[in-house]
Homo-oligomer: A and B are copies of this chain.
Amino acid sequence: MRSDLISGKLDFDQPIREQKLAERFGTSRGPVRDALLRLTQEGALVYEPNKGVRVISPLSEEERSVVASMRLSLEKHCLSKFMKKMDENDRHQLSLLLERLTSACERASLPGVAECDLALHRYWVAQASSHLETMWLGLSVRMIMKYSRLTKYGDIATEHQRIVEAILAKDLEKALYYLGENVI
């Protein structure tokens, strides 16, 4: 469900019917309701009593820039903390996630790119602090729903390759710099 949202498959303001989703996922309305409420608090949907949920309207340019700067400062903090205690397994995971993103970019699969992009960033945030991870998710989901740079999949792959390269080389300064270039 979330991947439908971040990939922009659903139109803004379009209402979401519990029954439809229940049939689609082969379950009853109860669990669907749970999931919708969670997505609501995550920020991808808005809820109105007795009217259900609908896809949230996109952020204005101004709002987006505020959110982006918050996300960037949060992610920079997490990344530097992560790099201090990164171990061999972390390096492996990072390479794996980068590979998936690159492959999604080659396939030019929008949902795949958006999802892999988030997953990669999420890794170092989650490793740094589970508290901060949930906050980061709220910011990022909203930003990625307006994934406006879709046209150049190659750029996305390159940007992330640079970041991961710097992380693996334990070059904090360079990693933070490329991260700043990427999170806009």
Bound Cα distance A33, B66 (Å): 33
Given A34-B37, A37-B38, A41-B42, A66 and B59 touching (CB < 8 A)?
no
Q: Out of B69, B77, B142, name the residue touching A131 (CB < 8 Å).
A: B142
Bound Cα distance A134, B73 (Å): 19
Bound Cα distance A76, B139 (Å): 18
Q: Out of B43, B66, B134, name the residue touching A77 (CB < 8 Å).
A: B66
Question: Is B135 a contact of A67 with CB atoms below 8 Å?
Answer: yes
Q: Out of B34, B63, B73, B132, name the residue touching A33 (CB < 8 Å).
A: B34
Minimum CB–CB distance from A27 to chain B (whole Å) comes to 15
**CB of A158 within 8 Å of the partner chain:** no
Q: Is the interface of A mostly helix, strand, loop or mixed?
A: helix
Question: Is B131 a contact of A63 with CB atoms below 8 Å?
Answer: yes
**CB of A74 within 8 Å of the partner chain:** yes
Q: Which residue of B lies closest to A137 (CB)?
A: B41
**CB of A129 within 8 Å of the partner chain:** yes
Q: Which residue of B lies closest to A39 (CB)?
A: B41
Find chain B residues with CB under 8 A from A41 CB. Answer: 37-38, 40-42, 134, 138
What are the 9 tightest A-B residue pairs by CB atom distance, in nearest-first order?
A41-B41, A37-B37, A70-B70, A66-B77, A38-B41, A63-B131, A41-B42, A37-B38, A34-B37
Task: Report 24 cross-chain contacts, Cβ distance below 8 Å, ordered by A residue.
Answer: A30-B30, A33-B34, A34-B37, A37-B38, A38-B41, A40-B41, A41-B41, A41-B42, A41-B134, A41-B138, A43-B134, A56-B131, A60-B131, A63-B131, A63-B132, A66-B73, A66-B77, A66-B132, A67-B132, A67-B135, A70-B73, A70-B135, A73-B73, A134-B138
